[in-house]
Amino acid sequence: NGFGKFKVKESAAREGRNPSTGATIQIAASKKLGFTPAKAVKDKLNG
């Protein structure tokens, strides 16, 4: 009967690229916030 669930997701370290120089950079590991809406909320949004 709630709005949904928030969840912390771990993001692993990875390689990225600087678009202006083309240089490869290391992107550090971080935590990201995920949200899963409740079924009632999804049903309401989708009609």
* CB contact set of 1 (below 8 Å; sequence gap of 6+): 38, 40
4 vs 2, more confident: 4
Task: Quick: pLDDT tens for 4-44.
Answer: 999 999 999 999 999 999 999 999 999 999 999 999 999 99
Q: Model-level pTM?
A: 0.55
- Burial-class residue 2 by CB neighbours within 10 Å (0-12, 13-18, 19+): exposed
Residue 1 has pLDDT above 80, yes or no: no
**Predicted pLDDT of residue 47:** 84
Q: Give the model's confidence band at 2: pLDDT under 50 very low, under 70 low, under 90 confident, else very high.
A: confident
Pick among 3.30.70.1400, 3.30.1300.10, 4.10.520.10, 3.40.50.10800: CATH of 4-45:
4.10.520.10
| Extents of the domains making up the chain | 4-45
